Amino acid sequence: MGLQAILNAHSREADAPTSLVVTFPTDQPLHMDAGGVLAPLTVAYQTYGTLDAARSNAILVCHALTGDQHLANIHPVTGKPGWWSAMVGPGKPIDTDRFFVICSNVVGGCLGTTGPASLNPATGRAYGLDLPMVTIRDMVRAQAMLVDHLGIDQLFCVAGGSMGGMQVLQWAALFPTRVFAAMPIATAARHSSQNIAFHEVGRQAIMADPEWRRGRYLDEGSRPEKGLSVARMAAHITYLSDQALHAKFGRKLQDRVAPTFSFDADFQIESYLRYQGRSFVERFDANSYLYMTRAMDYFDLAADYGGSLASAFKDSRTRFCVASFTSDWLFPTTASRALVHALNAGGASVSFVEIETDKGHDAFLLDLPELIATSRGFIDAAARARGLA
């Protein structure tokens, strides 16, 4: 895709998304944690399945850093299947024949919900860095506005992995009575120092690109493709495991029989990462990447509850299913275990599985039999308890 085509596809999705959209007027502002308000606020979302008469079968799925609302349909920009097609669909654990599934683009995103690439009504230009800093809690509050708008009081389940898992935890802490069941997967109740460090590398790559133009690249018809691409390359490494990289690429050379003794992409892994970086810039806005990584960095649920994570879930009636993956070093099992301890200490109902896989952090997106079986068992049991059998 050429630059102009990318810009066009982007501005289309940022301001006129291929999605359902609700715009909350200025008298219903979103109050941001960092101060200030977003008004009007637009939320772009997808739904699947049918809401039952009692409005009791809704499942909200929260997307990860580079995800979006296109969870189980063909993506309008990439033409690829939705990011959680393994988990969501007819007969899948999140069964669209039984449940009403909602997924919205987060605040700060770039697929139609108000974010840095959206038009700022005050200036007639893209928000850029004029958008207030976004937190995970802001994302969740905006989702709650959408859920209210859909006339749903209690969500049967809130599910998501990684940054989506953070939103799940924030939902359960902020709106305990509105979440019957929660599935935080491959996530943590706070972002670790190592994770903040990786994000900072990505942000610096973007901001070091002269085309970033202090965040005003959209006004100037430009894009920091190189910087965003490098950010994605670095991040992508953290989503995979050493074993998986070794098994898939090893030291194999790319379309050549001998090293060229140059800085070409001699190794398959280099070629793969460059491809990942290139294809990412086609569908993602660099400023959105800055905002969303920052939201994750600031996430520390215990800090909002006097330093005690257990207090965040005190007297919670929500049923939790926490899952982690053995080879995930970005959101390791220790983080999930700390969460489980806190949930136990708060007296919450919690299941916890660690799933053996070499697929690293990205395992939560994949069709892993154990993840599917765990999710199905948990959701089915919760549905019975909720009288949704």
Q: Catalytic site residues?
A: 162, 328, 361
Q: What is the nearest approach in angstroms of another protein to the Cβ of residue 48?
A: 23
Residue 107 near residue 114 (C-beta atoms within 8 A): yes
Residue 162 near residue 301 (C-beta atoms within 8 A): no
Interface size with another protein, residues (CB under 8 A): 27
Contact status: 325 vs another protein (CB under 8 A) = no
Contact status: 377 vs another protein (CB under 8 A) = yes
Residue 353 and residue 156: Cα distance in Å, rounded?
Answer: 21
Residue 130: which residues within 8 A CB-CB, separation 6 or more? 120, 123
Binding to another protein, residues 221-280 (CB under 8 A): none
Residue 330 and residue 239: Cα distance in Å, rounded?
Answer: 7
Please choose, from the candidates 156, 109, 157, the residue with its C-alpha nearest in 3D space to the C-alpha of residue 134. Answer: 109
Contact status: 316 vs another protein (CB under 8 A) = no
Q: What is the nearest approach in angstroms of another protein to the Cβ of residue 309?
A: 11
> Which of the 8 DSSP states describes residue 372?
H
Contact status: 308 vs another protein (CB under 8 A) = no
Exposed, middle or buried: residue 357 (CB in 10 Å: 0-12, 13-18, 19+)? buried
Q: What is the nearest approach in angstroms of another protein to the Cβ of residue 356?
A: 7
Exposed, middle or buried: residue 315 (CB in 10 Å: 0-12, 13-18, 19+)? exposed
Q: Which stretch binds another protein (CB under 8 A): 66-74, 111-119, 137-145, 375-383?
A: 375-383
Q: Which stretch binds another protein (CB under 8 A): 29-37, 138-146, 265-273, 379-387?
A: 379-387
Q: What is the nearest approach in angstroms of another protein to the Cβ of residue 99?
A: 16
Residue 336 and residue 328: Cα distance in Å, rounded?
Answer: 11
Question: Which amino acid, one-letter code, is at 129?
Answer: L
Indicate the residue among 274 and 341 with the shorter CB distance to another protein: 341
Binding to another protein, residues 335-364 (CB under 8 A): 340-341, 344-347, 349-356
Q: What is the nearest approach in angstroms of another protein to the Cβ of residue 341?
A: 4
Q: What is the nearest approach in angstroms of another protein to the Cβ of residue 67?
A: 24
Q: Which stretch binds another protein (CB under 8 A): 73-81, 194-202, 216-224, 369-377?
A: 369-377
Contact status: 321 vs another protein (CB under 8 A) = yes
Q: Which stretch binds another protein (CB under 8 A): 22-30, 63-71, 129-137, 316-324?
A: 316-324
User: How big, in percent rounded to 5, are the helix, strand and coil portions of the chain?
Assistant: 40, 15, 40
Residue 28 near residue 39 (C-beta atoms within 8 A): yes
Q: Which stretch binds another protein (CB under 8 A): 217-225, 278-286, 318-326, 359-367?
A: 318-326
Residue 189 and residue 67: Cα distance in Å, rounded?
Answer: 20
Please choose, from the candidates 201, 144, 197, the residue with its C-alpha nearest in 3D space to the C-alpha of residue 173. Answer: 144
Interface contacts to another protein, rule CB under 8 A? 319, 321-322, 340-341, 344-347, 349-356, 370, 373-374, 376-378, 380-382, 384
